[in-house]
Amino acid sequence: MSELMEVKHLKKYFKSPRGIVHAVDDVCFSIEKGTTVGLVGESGCGKSTLGRTLIHLSESTDGQILYQGRDVTRLNKKEMIEFRKHAQIIFQDPYSSLDPRQTVQDIISEPLLLAKYDKDEVQRRARNLMDTVGIEKRLRMSYPHELDGGRRQRVGIARALALNPEFIVCDEPVSSLDVSIQAQILNLLMDLQEELGLTYLFITHDMSVVRHISKKICVMYLGQMVEQCEKKELFEHPLHPYTKALLSAIPTTDIHAKKKRIMLKGEITSPINPKPGCRFAARCPYAEECCNEPAALREVAPGHLVACARAEEVNGMA
Ligand SMILES: Nc1ncnc2c1ncn2[C@@H]1O[C@H](COP(=O)(O)OP(=O)(O)OP(=O)(O)O)[C@@H](O)[C@H]1O
Ligand SMILES: [Mg+2]
């Protein structure tokens, strides 16, 4: 097992008129080369901020991002251009992330031109990329608005692949697509991973998508990691009360299933100047006095990390 990326105590704070937003707050995790880590959690918990910070679209506040063992948190312009060849991103909404005035060919060629490939090579590569992601040649001169959602996302994927990256942050890449198209794009991403040996951080709030695509899953809550383990383990033995609630909300087709949806009550803690202590405590059905202390991520079962002071008691492991 070799880790492509190791994230250590990463923080990304934003200044806002109401205080400091702790969007990513002391996050640690790693991504094994050639695999997919799924990142889940509710809206505003910091998934996109974490993804963007990893590939340096926004600069971290503190902590380390080790990429192939090298810290990439502080890069000069030249190092940054080099790093861009390795690490890319695919966005949720290809409509707003693609320039409406550029043709498909222009969009895919842009990173190649910036990387100073000569014109013939750019054309050749752009044609190959269109092939790779399954865009018909006749659409070469089309504009984003002339394409359907699935094809637009294929263009976004081709652009991300242009410089042969190893690592791609997929930020809700299928959330805006019809269900039938979602499956096609997910399959394309998985085929590309196998062919090209890609490593993904796959951000989604859809638990069935994350189940389909990930090897390991990380669960975030208000800027922090609350649980991490292999996919099968997470679905069979969720240990954090927040993960349990997330999983209980997945619709089931089995009418005999005894699953009961856990409804979360209580107020959502603000990511602005949060108090120390477990951030989920205000909504947690199991919270007690000890939850006022910070809850560090710790290994509770082999390869299974949880940030809950009461994990053993809550799960009958004590
Ligand atoms: N540029 C910014 N300036 C100030 N606050 C920001 C900025 N970007 C994000 N935030 C805040 O950081 C927190 C995390 O936001 P982020 O977009 O990363 O969440 P998310 O998990 O991706 O949510 P969603 O599922 O809705 O995409 C939120 O409280 C958000 O308001
Ligand atoms: Mg987001």
Residue 147 included in any domain: yes
Q: Which of 11, 21, 169 to mutate to test the pocket of ligand 1 (most atoms within 8 A of CB)?
A: 21
In terms of domains, do 181 and 286 share one? no
pLDDT at position 251: 75
CB atoms within 10 A of CB 78: 8
- Is residue 210 classed exposed, middle or buried when 0-12, 13-18 and 19+ CB atoms within 10 A define those classes? buried
Q: Is the CB of 237 under 6 A from ligand 1?
A: no
Query: What is the sign, positive or negative, of the torsion defined by CA atoms of 146, 152, 156, 161?
Result: negative
Both 86 and 194 in one domain: the answer is yes
- Residue 230 domain-assigned (yes or no): no
Please report which ligand is nearest the Cα atom of 16: 1
Domain end call among 221, 251, 275: 221
- Tell me: the pLDDT tens digits for 159-169? 999 999 999 99
Q: Of all atoms in ligand 1, which is nearest to the CA of residue 220? A: 21
Give the mean pLDDT of 235-264: 84
Judgement on whether residues 87 and 155 belong to the same structural domain of the protein:
yes
Contact 233, 217 (CB under 8 A): no
Q: Do 248 and 100 reside in the same domain of the chain?
A: no
Residues 135 and 164 in one domain: yes
Q: 106 with 196, same domain?
A: yes
Mutating to test ligand 1, I would choose from 14, 90, 205 the residue with most ligand atoms within 8 A of its C-beta, which is 14
Q: What percent of the chain has pLDDT over 90?
A: 85
Q: Tell which atom from ligand 1 comes closest to the C-alpha of 50.
A: 18
205 Cβ inside 6 Å of ligand 1: yes
- Cβ of 80: how many Cβ atoms within 10 Å? 11
Average pLDDT taken over every residue of the chain: 94
By C-alpha distance, which of 278, 296, 293, 201 is closest to 241? Answer: 278
Tell me how many domains the chain contains: 2
Is 162 inside a domain boundary?
Answer: yes
What pLDDT shows up at residue 264? 83
- Nearest atom (ligand 1) to Cα of 203: 22
In a domain, 182, yes or no: yes
Q: What DSSP string describes 56-118?
A: TSS--SEEEEEETTEE-SS--HHHHHHHHHHEEEE-S-HHHHS-TTS-HHHHHHHHHHHTT--
Position 297 scores a pLDDT of 96
Q: Is the CB of 19 under 6 A from ligand 1?
A: no
Give the residue, out of 11, 47, 57, 209, with the most ligand 1 atoms within 8 A of its beta carbon, to mutate for a pocket test.
47
Q: Is-contact 258 252, C-beta < 8 A? A: no
Confidence of residue 214 (pLDDT cuts 50, 70, 90): very high
Q: Are residues 274 and 200 in the same domain?
A: no
Asked if 44 and 154 sit in the same domain, the reply is yes
Q: Is 303 part of a structural domain of the chain?
A: yes
Is the CB of 14 within 6 Å of ligand 1?
yes
Q: What pLDDT is stored for residue 216 in this prediction?
A: 98
Residues 207, 247 within the same domain: no
For residue 229, is it within any domain?
no
Q: Whose CA is nearest to atom 12 of ligand 1?
A: 23
DSSP 268: P
CATH number at residue 36: 3.40.50.300
Q: Does 170 lie in the same domain as 119?
A: yes
Q: Is 175 in the pocket of ligand 1 (CB under 6 A)?
A: no
- Nearest atom (ligand 1) to Cα of 14: 4
Pairwise CA distance, residues 215 & 97, whole Å: 28
Residues 53, 125: one domain?
yes
pLDDT above 80 (res 254): no
Tokens 């990387």, residue located: 115
**What is the pLDDT, as a whole number, of residue 257?**
65
Residues β-bridged to residue 19 = 16
The pLDDT assigned to 256 comes to 67
Give the distance (Å) from ligand 2 centre to CA of residue 48.
4
Of 218, 222, 204, 315, the closest CA to residue 268 belongs to 222
Question: Do residues 55 and 234 touch, judged by C-beta distance below 8 A?
Answer: no
Q: According to the model, what pLDDT value does residue 270 have?
A: 86
Banded pLDDT at 95 (limits 50, 70, 90) = confident
In this model, does residue 186 exceed pLDDT 80?
yes
Q: Are 131 and 29 part of one and the same domain?
A: yes
Interatomic CA distance for residues 310 and 39, integer angstroms: 23
Cβ 49 under 6 angstroms from ligand 1? yes
Residue 190 three-state SS: helix
Q: What is the mean pLDDT of residues 41-61?
A: 96
Question: Which residue from 15, 49, 273 has its CB within 8 A of the most atoms of ligand 1, so it is best to mutate?
Answer: 49
Q: How far apart are CA 55 and CA 84, in angstroms?
A: 8
Residue 258: the pLDDT is 65
Q: What is the pLDDT of residues 221-231, one digit of tens each?
A: 999 999 999 99
CA of 285 to the centre of ligand 2 (A): 27
Pocket lining: 40 vs ligand 1, CB cutoff 6 Å: no
- Of 196, 221, 246, the residue that ends a domain is 221
Predicted local confidence at residue 312, as pLDDT = 95
Q: Please state the pTM of the whole predicted model.
A: 0.95
Q: Is residue 43 part of a domain?
A: yes
Domain that residue 200 falls in: 3-221
Indicate whether 227 belongs to any domain.
no
Edge to edge, what strands does the sheet with 304-306 contain? 87-90, 167-171, 199-203, 36-40, 216-221, 224-230, 304-306, 298-301
Mean pLDDT (whole number) for 56-68: 96
